[in-house]
Chains A and B, each alone.
Chain A
Amino acid sequence: MPKDGGIGASTLRREDIRFLTGEGQYSDDLKRYGQAAAVFVRSNVANGVIKSIDTSAAAGMPGVLAIFTGEDFVEVGGNPAGWLINSRDGEPMKEPKRPVLAHGKVRHVGDAYAAVIAETVEQAKDAAEAIEADIDELPAVVNMADALSGNNYVHDEIETNQCFDWGWIEDNRAATDAAIKGAHHVTTLELVNNRLVPNAMEPRCSMAEYSKSSGEYTLHTTSQNPHLTRLLISAFVLGIPENKLTVIAPDVGGGFGSKIYHYGEEALVLAAAKKLGRPVKWTSDRTEAFLTDAHGRDHVTKIELAMDAEGNFLAFRTETMANVGAYLSNFSTATPTFLHGTLMAGNYTVPNVYVNVKAVFTNTAPVDAYRGAGRPEATYSLERVIDKAAREIGMDPIALRRKNFIKPDQYPFASAAGLEYDSGNYDALMDRMEIVADMAGFAARRKESEAKGMLRGFGVNAYIEACGIAPSNLVGILGSRVGLYDAATVRVNATGNLSVMVGAHSHGQGHETAFPQVVSEMLGIDAQSIDIVHGDTSKIPFGMGTYGSRSLAVCGSAVVRATEKIILKATKIAAHMLEADASDITFEDGEFSVAGTNRKVSFGEVALKAYIPHEYPIENLEPGLEETAFYDPANFTYPSGAYCCEVEIDPDTGKVSVERMTAVDDFGNVVNPMIVTGQVHGGLGQGIGQALLENAAYDEDGQLLSASYMDYTMPRADDLPFYTVDHSQGNPCTHNPLGVKGCGEAGAIGSPPTVVNAVIDAMQSGGKNVTHIDMPVTPHRVWSAMNNA
Chain B
Amino acid sequence: MTNVTMTVNGKSVSGDVAGNTLLSTYLREDLNMTGTHIGCDTSQCGACVVHVDGKAVKSCTMFAAEANGAEVSTIEGQANSDGSLNVIQQAFQDHHGLQCGFCTPGMVMTTAALLKDNPKPSVAEVREHLEGNICRCTGYHNIVKAIIAASGQDVSAIAAE
Q: How many of chain B's residues touch chain A, expressed as a range?
A: 35 or more
List residues of chain A with CB within 8 A of the CB of B38: 28, 203, 283
Chain B residue at minimum C-beta to C-beta distance from A16? B93
- Select from chain B the residue with minimum beta-carbon distance to A288: B41
A688 to chain B, nearest CB (A): 8
When chains A and B are docked, how far (Å) is the Cα of A201 from the Cα of B131? 15
Q: At the interface, yes or no: A252 with Cβ under 8 Å from chain B?
A: yes
B-contact 0/1 string along A711-722, CB 8 Å cutoff: 000111110101
Instruction: Give 25 CB contacts A-B under 8 Å.
Output: A10-B161, A12-B94, A13-B93, A16-B92, A20-B98, A20-B101, A20-B108, A21-B35, A22-B35, A23-B35, A29-B34, A200-B136, A202-B39, A286-B40, A508-B99, A508-B100, A510-B99, A677-B96, A682-B139, A685-B138, A686-B136, A708-B44, A715-B139, A717-B135, A723-B141
Q: Is the CB of A201 within 8 A of B139?
A: no
Asked if B92 and A20 sit within 8 Å, CB to CB, the answer is yes
Q: Which residue of B lies closest to A14 (CB)?
A: B93
| CB nearest to B144 among chain A residues | A717
Q: Are A21 and B78 in contact (CB under 8 A)?
A: yes
User: Quick check: is B42 within 8 A (CB to CB) of the other chain?
Assistant: yes
Nearest-Cβ distance from residue B56 to partner chain A, whole angstroms: 15
* A31 contact set on B, CB distance < 8 A: 29, 32
The residues of A that contact B145 with a CB separation of less than 8 Å are 722
| Apart from A252-B100, A285-B41, A708-B44: 10 A-B pairs, beta carbons within 8 A | A10-B161, A20-B78, A20-B85, A21-B75, A31-B32, A201-B135, A201-B137, A509-B99, A678-B99, A714-B44
Which residues does chain A contribute within 8 Å of B45, judged by CB atoms?
Answer: 201, 286, 709
Q: Within the assembled complex, what's the spacing in Å between the Cα atoms of A31 and B123?
A: 40
Closest 7 CB pairs of A and B: A22-B35, A685-B139, A19-B101, A253-B102, A508-B100, A709-B44, A508-B99
Q: How large is the interface on A (under 10, 10 to 19, 20 to 34, 35 or more residues)?
A: 35 or more
Given A10-B161, A286-B40, check contact A717 B140 (CB 8 Å). Answer: yes
Query: A683–B99 Cα gap in the complex (Å)?
Result: 12
Across the interface, name the chain A residue whose C-beta is closest to B100: A508
B161 and A673 contacting across the interface, CB-CB below 8 Å: yes
Q: How far is the CA of A608 from the CA of B39 in the complex (A)?
A: 47
Interface centre among A18, A509, A675, A682 (most CB of B within 10 A): A682
- Which residues 479-520 of A have a CB within 8 angstroms of B? 507-510
- A717 and B101 contact, CB distance less than 8 A: no
Which of chain A's residues have a CB closer than 8 A to the CB of B92? 16, 20
Complex: A677 Cα to B96 Cα, angstroms: 9
In the complex, whether B4 has a CB less than 8 A from a CB of chain A is no
Bound-complex Cα distance A31 to B25 (A): 13
**CB-defined contacts of B42 to chain A, threshold 8 Å:** 286, 708-710
Judge if B130 is at the interface, Cβ distance under 8 Å. yes
Interface residues of A in 714-759 (CB under 8 A from B): 714-718, 720, 722-725, 747
Closest to B20 in A: A122
Q: A26 and B136: CB pair below 8 A?
A: no
Instruction: Check A287 against B35 for contact (C-beta < 8 Å).
Output: no
Q: State whether the Cβ of B151 lies closer than 8 Å to any Cβ in chain A.
A: no
